[in-house]
Structure 1
Amino acid sequence: MYKIAIVGAATLLGKELKDALTESSLAAADFALFDEDEGLGQLDQLGDEVTFVKAVTADAFEHVDFTFFCGSETLTRRFWREALRAGSTVLDLTGALDQETGVLVRSPWVGAQDVAADLFTPAVVPAHPAALALALLMERLQQAAPVRNAAATVLLPASEFGRAAMDELHQQTVNLLSFQTIPRATFDAQSAYNLLSGFGENAKVSMTAIDSRIRRQYSALAGRRLPALAMQTISAPVFHGHGFSIFAELERPVDLSALEDALSGDHVDLVLEETDSPSNLAATGQNDVLVRLRLEPGPRNANESSRVWLLAASDNLRLYAQNAVECALDLRRLRPQGTVQ
């Protein structure tokens, strides 16, 4: 039996991670839940076990095999080395460590990455779900033909920025419909009924930080195998789910059926019906990335082209949690069986 600590257990991502863990082969583990401020003292249940969310301390990681950090970046930076010193494997879902020396950005869903985790890897960052979805789709397209150029617009939901952002989007919507002043404490801008490429100067969340994080982590997954990707991130007035509009130019024309075969497979649900469309609502609760394929018609054949459009959507929190659990299962081979100490 393993012991697993979740730091940031009361966050949106922490709750999704708990569900993913209890649905996995790690469900029998002994869990310890930690958080700060508002999360402290909350009663929680994992499987048949009921436990409380406790404050994080320097000695909280004794005898812990895996520590998932999914709270604030500040909390991760404060305690991740304490977890390492205690002999725990660290998995960082906050993005705080992806530029630390030796820390690897990973996803078992994407083919062989340039560097493999070993006993000397200080920590692993499960890839951001937007970076993961983009890498997965670029990898599948490459199976049909080499990708010459690619560009993506990524639509981010309020849940990307935490519970406070979701609450503010909700309250802004309510206030706008009743002609009242809208709250701006989190976004310092009108997020409801609006598309934004950045927030106000007093915002508590940052589009720039998320944009940079997705770019870094896509590059880490892509390595030298996948194409460089031009990307733009936009905040959308939705609560959950990533949306993607992706354009790719291939080295040679490929027919529609070959592209459909290349895209289909594990973790990708190809939408074929004309009446269906990938959307953040359709993706809710799904483990797969929903994808709709469209070709720019070629000069001779409308079903064959080198110019491809993809519309995709995924459940951002669920995809993140599922990938983190897969990373832990992949790293399990590096740990001794049973109790560590």
Structure 2
Amino acid sequence: MSRSTERSNLFTVALVGAAALKGKEVRDVLSDRKFPAVDIKLLDEGDVLGQLEQVNDEPTFIQSVLPEHLEGVDFAFLTGDESYISKIWTTVRDSGSEIIDLSYALENNTDIVFRAPWVERELGRAHQVGLQSAPAVIAHPASVAVALLLARLREVAAAQVVSAIVCHPASEHGRRGMDELHDQTVNLLSFQQMPNAVFGTQVAFNLFVQSTEAIHPSLREIESRIVRHFKAIVEGELSLPPLLLVQAPVFHGYTIALYVQTGPEVTATRLETALAGPHVVVTTEPDEFPSNVNIAGSSEILTSVRPNATGGGFWLWAACDNLRISAIQAVECAEEMVHTRPRGQLQ
């Protein structure tokens, strides 16, 4: 096969918000999964413009979002901050590329579709991909993880999930959230004033369930987003138990506690058997328990089951890498579109 023929079978990808945490994660997943890209354009704004990055072992500069930089782009992953993507996404749309949004900026648009390929396959649904699809909004990683676990637990007829507690990491707020948690930790230990522009209050060495409503998105807004995305991706096939979102003083990774009420015939082994499968690893080893540390960089949801101390059920404790889970859902969406996407801009 000639070099020109090989290139004609490949696609051009743009990462819009390339310097963001999600942008870097999508870039890694594209490489890991050997996505058929002939070119990956890095687009962003501000101080990172002109910054030199490595993409598939080749140097690439970060450029601004301009029509000429989007020419011929087949797939555009929107990975920047929600406020930034809200300002520039129409420029991306006008380029004719397929849009895959990880920023949530498009979640309230009427012409979008929520996607979570892991959950769709688990529920036996095949997403129909057209010649040019509606913008795909990648479901919140906590929604994806909870939906997948609940779908598996359906196999145990006598089990009912009665509550869900989700611990929210700083990295869901992007690099600004990570930096603020770091600065709060350092300043607190040195008795200096702590910054709170992102969280509105102290996160370091602290847990809370309600942040100031002046901060966007607030914990209440994020909690509503998780519920909304869950309902969109399960399409009525699963019921979400009462859910509480807790801001945790951690940089990375979601941890989730589900209380499963069961009859006396249900054992931990039975629950573990039901949960284990694609994308979910059930661990019983004491040094491999689900935690923010143990799932960093992992593509799996790490899960354990333990009996409730007073009987009547079990606690399911799970952890997942929020950035990795979202990036995989996004790239899998693009992989589905490959089969119907013409090369270059649609006329």
Question: Where does residue 284 of structure 2 map in the other structure?
Answer: 272
Question: 89, 113, 128: which one pairs with 1:104?
Answer: 113
Query: Which string of whole-angstrom CA distances, capped at 9 and with x for unpartnered residues, describes residues 202-222 of structure 1?
Result: 535522232222111111122
Is residue 148–residue 251 contact of structure 1 (8 Å, CA) maintained in 2? no
Is residue 167–residue 246 contact of structure 2 (8 Å, CA) maintained in 1? yes
The verdict on how the C-alpha distance between 1:25 and 1:275 changes in structure 2, with shifts beyond 3 A counting, is closer
**Structure 1, unaligned runs of 5 or more:** 300-304
Question: Where does residue 56 of structure 2 map in the other structure?
Answer: 47
Question: 81, 94, 100: which one pairs with 1:85?
Answer: 94
Tell me, yes or no, if structure 1 residue 175 matches structure 2 residue 187.
Answer: yes
**Distance in 2, Cα, partners of 1:119 & 1:74:** 29
The verdict on how the C-alpha distance between 1:167 and 1:266 changes in structure 2, with shifts beyond 3 A counting, is same
Is residue 98–residue 132 contact of structure 2 (8 Å, CA) maintained in 1? no
Tell me, yes or no, if structure 1 residue 166 matches structure 2 residue 175.
Answer: no
Question: What is the one-letter code of the residue matched to 1:325?
Answer: V
**Distance in 2, Cα, partners of 1:145 & 1:2:** 46
Question: 5, 8, 20: which one pairs with 1:11?
Answer: 20
**Distance in 1, Cα, partners of 2:202 & 2:36:** 41
**Distance in 1, Cα, partners of 2:158 & 2:59:** 51
**Distance in 2, Cα, partners of 1:214 & 1:193:** 25
Is residue 132–residue 341 contact of structure 2 (8 Å, CA) maintained in 1? no
Q: TM-score, normalised by structure 1?
A: 0.90
The verdict on how the C-alpha distance between 1:251 and 1:79 changes in structure 2, with shifts beyond 3 A counting, is farther
Q: CA deviation at 1:61?
A: 2.5
Is residue 113–residue 221 contact of structure 1 (8 Å, CA) maintained in 2? no
Question: Where does residue 328 of structure 1 map in the other structure?
Answer: 334
Question: Where does residue 32 of structure 1 map in the other structure?
Answer: 41
Query: Which string of whole-angstrom CA distances, capped at 9 and with x for unpartnered residues, describes residues 174-219 of structure 1?
Result: 1211222222222221111001223335535522232222111111
Question: Where does residue 69 of structure 1 map in the other structure?
Answer: 78
**Distance in 1, Cα, partners of 2:12 & 2:340:** 15
Is residue 103–residue 123 contact of structure 1 (8 Å, CA) maintained in 2? yes
DSSP-derived class of the 1:68 partner: strand
Tell me, yes or no, if structure 1 residue 310 matches structure 2 residue 322.
Answer: no
Is residue 130–residue 242 contact of structure 1 (8 Å, CA) maintained in 2? yes
Is residue 175–residue 182 contact of structure 1 (8 Å, CA) maintained in 2? yes
Compare 267-276 and 41-50 and name the one that shifted more: 267-276
**Distance in 1, Cα, partners of 2:191 & 2:177:** 20
Question: Where does residue 282 of structure 1 map in the other structure?
Answer: 294
The verdict on how the C-alpha distance between 1:120 and 1:45 changes in structure 2, with shifts beyond 3 A counting, is closer
**Structure 2, unaligned runs of 5 or more:** 1-9
Q: CA deviation at 1:235?
A: 0.9
Query: Which string of whole-angstrom CA distances, capped at 9 and with x for unpartnered residues, describes residues 4-49 of structure 1?
Result: 0110001111111111111122164311111111322211111122
**Distance in 1, Cα, partners of 2:147 & 2:263:** 18
**Distance in 1, Cα, partners of 2:159 & 2:138:** 25
Q: CA deviation at 1:125?
A: 1.2
Question: What is the one-letter code of the residue matched to 2:317?
Answer: L
Question: What is the one-letter code of the residue matched to 1:314?
Answer: C
**Distance in 1, Cα, partners of 2:321 & 2:289:** 15
**Number of residue pairs matched?**
334
Compare 145-154 and 277-286 and name the one that shifted more: 145-154
**Distance in 2, Cα, partners of 1:326 & 1:193:** 37
Question: What is the one-letter code of the residue matched to 1:279?
Answer: S
DSSP-derived class of the 2:203 partner: coil
Q: TM-score, normalised by structure 2?
A: 0.88
**Distance in 2, Cα, partners of 1:136 & 1:68:** 24
Query: Which string of whole-angstrom CA distances, capped at 9 and with x for unpartnered residues, describes residues 210-256 of structure 1?
Result: 22221111111221211223211111111111111111335894333
The verdict on how the C-alpha distance between 1:173 and 1:157 changes in structure 2, with shifts beyond 3 A counting, is same
DSSP-derived class of the 2:293 partner: helix
The verdict on how the C-alpha distance between 1:331 and 1:295 changes in structure 2, with shifts beyond 3 A counting, is farther
Question: Where does residue 302 of structure 1 map in the other structure?
Answer: none
- The residue correspondences of 1:140-219 to structure 2 (distance < 5 A) are 140-145=152-157, 148-203=160-215, 205-219=217-231
Query: Which string of whole-angstrom CA distances, capped at 9 and with x for unpartnered residues, describes residues 287-338 of structure 1?
Result: 1011011234898xxxxx7x332101111111111221111112222313x5
DSSP-derived class of the 2:15 partner: strand
Query: Which string of whole-angstrom CA distances, capped at 9 and with x for unpartnered residues, describes residues 145-173 of structure 1?
Result: 27544321111111111112211111111
**Distance in 2, Cα, partners of 1:276 & 1:24:** 26
DSSP-derived class of the 2:53 partner: strand
The verdict on how the C-alpha distance between 1:114 and 1:2 changes in structure 2, with shifts beyond 3 A counting, is closer
Question: 219, 222, 226: which one pairs with 2:238?
Answer: 226
Identity of aligned residues (%): 40
The verdict on how the C-alpha distance between 1:101 and 1:31 changes in structure 2, with shifts beyond 3 A counting, is same
